[in-house]
Amino acid sequence: MIPIDRKSLVEAADSLTEYWSPRVVGQVNDQLVKVAKLKGELVWHSHEHEDEMFYVIRGAFRMEFETHSVELSEGDFITVPKGVMHNPVAERECWVMLIEPASTLHTGDVVDERTKTLDQQMDQGLSGRQIG
Ligand code: NI
């Protein structure tokens, strides 16, 4: 049983030591809440079955789509619909919260050296919990 207590997105994001390596910090029904530090660019990908939400905790980043790009700064969020190609790009370090289903693969339909499995994204406090 996970203790019911406050969590800080800022503290959780601050504790991350690696870019593009999301950490699961909570769960709401079937959706996982994650924090990540972004810097540079990830990779073009899409998620066939999952929408993804990105909320900017600190800094700014650009979400590139095939048709346009969207600049996001602190407090902004964007939802990327399922099936839409996207590529997050952060000129400087940016902290984000992600909300996405447990089934969402980190880099979607693309696997590269930065792809993290769900196990690798688990916070220690949640690792004993059934996800799925
Ligand atoms: Ni994605």
**Token pair 């600190």: residue:** 58
Within a domain: residue 131? Answer: no
Distance from Cα 9 to the centre of ligand 1, integer Å: 20
The CA distances from residue 7 to 4, 51, 61, in Å, are 9, 24, 24
The total domain count for the chain is 1
Within a domain: residue 8? Answer: no
Structure tokens at 87: 């590529």
The contacts of residue 23 (CB under 8 Å, 6+ apart) are: 12, 16, 34, 35, 36, 121, 122, 123
Within a domain: residue 77? Answer: yes
Distance from Cα 110 to the centre of ligand 1, integer Å: 10
Residue at 53: amino acid letter: M
Within a domain: residue 121? Answer: no
Distance from Cα 11 to the centre of ligand 1, integer Å: 23
Any bridge partners for residue 89, and if so which? Answer: 41, 62
Q: Supply the DSSP symbol for 107.
A: T
Within a domain: residue 32? Answer: yes
Distance from Cα 66 to the centre of ligand 1, integer Å: 14
Within a domain: residue 33? Answer: yes
Q: Report the CATH number that the domain containing residue 40 is assigned in CATH.
A: 2.60.120.10
- Tally of CB atoms within 10 A around 87: 16
Within a domain: residue 86? Answer: yes
Distance from Cα 86 to the centre of ligand 1, integer Å: 7
pTM: 0.84
pLDDT (tens digit, 0 to 9) for every residue of the chain, 132 residues total? 668 899 999 999 999 999 999 999 999 999 999 999 999 999 999 999 999 999 999 999 999 999 999 999 999 999 999 999 999 999 999 999 999 998 887 778 777 777 888 888 886 555 444 443
